[in-house]
Structure 1
Amino acid sequence: MNTDPSDDQGALSGWTTRRWLRTGVATTMVVLAVLGSLGGWAMWRTSRITAELVDSRSPALIEAIRLESALINQETGTRGYGLSGRADFLQPYTQGTADEQTALRRLRPLVEHDPRARADLAAVEKRAEAWQQRIAVPVSKSPAAEAVRLAARRATEGKSLFDALRRTMTRQQAHLQDERAAASDDLRHAQNLRNWVFAVIALVILVVAALVFEGLRRGVTGPLTRLGSAARDVAQGRFDRAITGTGPADLRALAADVDSMRRRLVEELEYTERSRRLLDEQAEDLRRSNTELEQFAYVASHDLQEPLRKVSSFTQLLQRRYGGQLDAKADQYIAFAVDGANRMQVLINDLLAFSRVGRVHNDHQTVDLEAVFGRTVENLSVTVEETGAEITHDTLPTVVGDSTQLGMLWQNLLSNAVKFRSPDRPPRIHVSAGREGDEWEFAVADNGIGIAPEFREKVFVLFQRLHTKDAYPGTGIGLAMCKKVVEFHGGRIGIDSEHTPGTRIVFTLPVAGTAAAPSERRTQP
């Protein structure tokens, strides 16, 4: 029968790939089911015989030998006590009695389903009980002198009883050995049968695999290879090449769909070219916008600063010269002007620093955060001393970044922790550091006034203030600056909602290398 689906004139040319695969998989599953059943039966038979040998036959023989050893120990101890009258000779008898009970407790379940083994065990127990009742128990329970006389009188009877017991135990062990040998033979035959079954299974699987491979090559991979070759030609730029399919009906339909996609690509290329020109125009607008931003920064740092300095200087001069000479309203107006000029200057400087993050200061190198932190604490030494603040910190690692920006980060976080202190307790600030995978996690925790839950996201937005300038001075740029610095270095920043009292700001920075484990120490400003 012609099984090549690529022959369009064949009787099976209308079959789809799914139908070919369904037929092949169904046939394969039937074959594998039969083979699996045979293999499972062979494995089950081998496992059953193995379990019988390991779990029943061998342990039963071992426990029978232990039972014999326990009874021999009893006989040895009884005989030694009967000859010498010394109580220490009874130790083997005592141990043998305990071992006998243990062996019997283990042996009874093992021979429960074997009538002959069960009968042998019953005979051993009967003989053992007869010897114990006549010899072992009376001798061991008697005083030394009486035990010697009793052992002498019953020596012949004891030997006869124990010899009968030995013969019974020997017969029991012989039967158990025969049963174990028979089980071993059965296991060997089962293993040979299992090996033959699996060899046949492997051979059949190889034959099925070869047939499947050949069928897939002729019915699927061959047509797909030709289709793929044509598609690669189109991908390399030959958009004028028409794609025709061979093989099963669905693969021919797929080729028609790919050819339709080729035609659609031609249309999309024209659209993409128009979009590219539009992106070029937008990129040019973005470059122009960046240039204007740089010009604004220049104006803010030079042209706007100069007139603002004049306004600030002359209003301060006016305040010093005419303060107290005019009425109270005039003094108030002059103070407003001086304060407004000073705040405008601080605001412009803060905006300049904010705009420079990632643009001006962008010198990434190895930075020792311990040194940067130390310089920051020195800069805040006057404020720390005035407020009675105590700053502690873990050993800080080395990271890769811009030292100027990281200094600004510590400056804003520590100054905020001191600024927003609680009026009823001195500031206590702790900086922790720990490694979490490929990141360092830092936290600045204080015992200040804290931040309400509804404002924990807003505080990182530019110009967001939670208090009036009379209560707490500032421009509302500090935490926005911190967020920009941390994100520029590839980290994250947020507020720990579970920390009380006060505020705990947590941020991360990528690991630059292996650093020593953090250990807490105190920083003296």
Structure 2
Amino acid sequence: MTADETAVPPPARARAGRWSAQGWVNVMLLGMALLLCVSAVTGATALQNTAEVSNRLADQISPARVEAERLQAALLNQETGLRGFVITGRDEFLEPYMTGRQAEQRSMGEIRRLISDGRLLRELVEVERRTALWRAQHAEPMIALIREQGPEKVGAAQVEAGREAFEAVRAALEAQNAAWTRVRDDARADLEQSRVVRDAAFLGILTVLLFAIIGVAVLLRVVVFRPLERLGAASRRVTGGDFAHHVDTGGPADIAALSHDMEAMRERIVAELEETRLARQQLEEQATELRRSNAELEQFAYVASHDLQEPLRKVASFTQMLEQRYGEQLDDRAKQYIAFAVDGAKRMQVLINELLTFSRVGRVTREPVTFGLEETVSMALRNLTAAAEESGGRVEVGTLPRMTGDRSQFVMLWQNLIGNALKFRHPDRAPVVRVDARREGAEWLISVADNGIGIDARFADKIFIIFQRLHNREAYEGTGIGLAICRKIVEYHRGRIWLDTGYTDGSRFFIALPVTDEEEETGPSGGEPAVAEPQEGAVAGL
């Protein structure tokens, strides 16, 4: 094997000497085209030959034979008129003779125009010669004699000689008629023969075309359809799960190339499946590690909610006890320091609780249920009763849709958003919060708007970051984690939340949540817009 042969892949060397299916089809089409051309030429030739013979018989021989019969009738009329004129000497008996001569001239001219057969022309010339001889030697002299001297001057011998001369004309006419009969019979035989040849040609063409169609069908079956069937069976076998089945159908070069490509695709799929299996195995290992890590986080959350808060409670309690027991011995600065320590311990407890809540969003969840958002807003408002009473505000709730998810997290969402609206109120007016929803395509767009102090557009993204505060603790209490919890809740439910920076009458938040199948069937949760009556509870601050 040479170096060049080694460089060519085995399938390429196998296909090098093969014709492609397109090549076979081109050859078949070329053969069919040549066959159709030959068939067309053969059929056209047979039809033309039949048409020529038929036209010759219909347009030449038959009309010429009719003119020959008219010629014979014209000559007989001349002889009859001459005979009557000889007997009576009256000019009216000479009328058929004169009209016969005119008809004779017309018929002879028409016959010469229609025929070109030398044999028939010779017969016509013979008739013309004998007719001219009869007329010149007998008919015209007798007519002239009778007109000059009367019919009694024509002798019987002269009449008999004229009759014998016309008998020669009759013999020439009979010979001409016999020639015309032979020509007609020959033409009919030629026409019948051409029809037989024509029918045989068309039968042969149909037979050849039939065998050509059968040959094309067999060739397509062998060259194209059978390899494609093998290729389809191999692909179905691989699709059925037998990825080890080798795809090799043979056949023309392009189909063989297609099978080679499918074999390469099968090998790639097998390799991808193996990689997927390894990735799934690695993913399962990572999931196991993640479950272990989540368990540790659960343990950490337990420690944060219990063990870490216990020392803080002790610090706050004992510091307060220290102030109560030794308060008379402490100056104002010492009491201020004790107050700072107690406040720091309490704020640390609140911060730990908020961090615990933030960590549990999306991690510690209940089974998803379908519920009305108005129901969760009402539950949140019951928790915000104290804040609403303190601020003197009111919350208006429009028609909200039904959702599928974690009910308690949505209660937390509204509690944070509405609580912030009540807390960051404008000093010159009572807070009013409006919760509305509308359908936009495949999403519910929910808005929470208030008439408070508003938020600068520069901080539209910052407010959703944990521990990011826009005001100091002396102005507004809170940990700066509420809106971060809101964003986490919304994103857990495959939604989006953002600040409407174009709203200038306070602050307005938009929440986009996907419409579920159950919501498509049931629609919004219904109910007229209402002014909620918030009740007892707390709110997470910015």
1:522 aligned partner, one-letter code? V
Give the Å deviation of 1:412: 0.6
How many residue pairs get aligned? The number is: 332
2:414 aligned partner, one-letter code? W
Q: TM-score, normalised by structure 2?
A: 0.53
Give the Å deviation of 1:439: 4.0
Aligned to 2:81: none
Q: 1:18 to 1:385 in 2, by over 3 A?
A: farther
Aligned to 1:314: 318
Correspondence for 1:503 among 503, 507, 526: 507
> 1: distance between equivalents of 2:228 and 2:445?
53
Aligned to 1:168: none
Residue 434 (1) aligns with residue 438 (2): yes
> 2: distance between equivalents of 1:280 and 1:454?
44
Aligned to 2:407: 403
Give the Å deviation of 1:377: 2.4
Correspondence for 1:385 among 371, 374, 389: 389
User: Contact (CA 8 Å) 2:466, 2:480: kept in 1 or not?
Assistant: yes
Residue 421 (1) aligns with residue 425 (2): yes
Aligned to 2:299: 295
Residue 514 (1) aligns with residue 518 (2): no
User: Contact (CA 8 Å) 1:324, 1:331: kept in 2 or not?
Assistant: no
> 1: distance between equivalents of 2:473 and 2:450?
21
Q: 1:479 to 1:21 in 2, by over 3 A?
A: farther
Q: 1:273 to 1:373 in 2, by over 3 A?
A: closer
Deviates more, 1:251-260 or 1:363-372: 363-372
Give the Å deviation of 1:448: 1.8
Q: TM-score, normalised by structure 1?
A: 0.55
Q: Residues 163-215 of structure 1, C-alpha deviation per residue, up to 9 Å, x if partnerless?
A: xxxxxxxxxxxxxxxxxxxxxxxxxxxxxxxxxxxxxxxxxxxxxxxx99999
> 1: distance between equivalents of 2:350 and 2:296?
23
Q: Residues 354-373 of structure 1, C-alpha deviation per residue, up to 9 Å, x if partnerless?
A: 22334444143343433432
> 2: distance between equivalents of 1:419 and 1:314?
32
> 2: distance between equivalents of 1:375 and 1:222?
72
2:348 aligned partner, one-letter code? M
Q: Residues 371-424 of structure 1, C-alpha deviation per residue, up to 9 Å, x if partnerless?
A: 432343233233222222232221344433333222111111111111122234
> 2: distance between equivalents of 1:306 and 1:355?
20
Q: 1:16 to 1:221 in 2, by over 3 A?
A: closer
Secondary structure at the residue paired with 2:474? coil
Secondary structure at the residue paired with 1:435? strand
Q: 1:252 to 1:293 in 2, by over 3 A?
A: same
Residue 226 (1) aligns with residue 230 (2): yes
Give the Å deviation of 1:468: 2.2
% identical aligned pairs: 52
Structure 1: which 5+ residue stretches go unaligned? Answer: 1-11, 28-210
Correspondence for 1:357 among 361, 364, 374: 361
1:350 aligned partner, one-letter code? E
Deviates more, 1:264-273 or 1:212-221: 212-221
Q: Residues 26-84 of structure 1, C-alpha deviation per residue, up to 9 Å, x if partnerless?
A: x9xxxxxxxxxxxxxxxxxxxxxxxxxxxxxxxxxxxxxxxxxxxxxxxxxxxxxxxxx
Aligned to 2:416: 412
Counting only pairs closer than 5 Å after superposition, residues 115-154 of structure 1 correspond to structure 2 as: none
Give the Å deviation of 1:241: 4.2
Q: CA RMSD in A?
A: 3.7
User: Contact (CA 8 Å) 2:399, 2:524: kept in 1 or not?
Assistant: no
Secondary structure at the residue paired with 1:473? coil
Aligned to 1:256: 260
Q: 1:292 to 1:220 in 2, by over 3 A?
A: farther
2:338 aligned partner, one-letter code? I
Secondary structure at the residue paired with 2:415? helix
Aligned to 1:244: 248
Residue 480 (1) aligns with residue 489 (2): no
Aligned to 1:14: 19
1:441 aligned partner, one-letter code? L
Please tell me whether Structure 1 or Structure 2 has the larger radius of gyration of its CA atoms: 2
> 1: distance between equivalents of 2:218 and 2:440?
53
Correspondence for 1:330 among 323, 331, 334: 334
> 2: distance between equivalents of 1:461 and 1:22?
74
Secondary structure at the residue paired with 1:300? helix
User: Contact (CA 8 Å) 1:412, 1:478: kept in 2 or not?
Assistant: yes
> 2: distance between equivalents of 1:376 and 1:479?
15
Q: Residues 249-295 of structure 1, C-alpha deviation per residue, up to 9 Å, x if partnerless?
A: 22211222333444555555555554444333222211111111111
User: Contact (CA 8 Å) 1:433, 1:518: kept in 2 or not?
Assistant: no
Secondary structure at the residue paired with 2:404? strand
Give the Å deviation of 1:19: 9.3
Q: 1:392 to 1:212 in 2, by over 3 A?
A: farther
Correspondence for 2:282 among 271, 278, 290: 278
Q: 1:223 to 1:350 in 2, by over 3 A?
A: same
Give the Å deviation of 1:429: 1.4
Secondary structure at the residue paired with 1:293? helix
Correspondence for 2:309 among 298, 305, 311: 305
Q: 1:402 to 1:219 in 2, by over 3 A?
A: same
User: Contact (CA 8 Å) 2:21, 2:224: kept in 1 or not?
Assistant: no
Counting only pairs closer than 5 Å after superposition, residues 61-76 of structure 1 correspond to structure 2 as: none
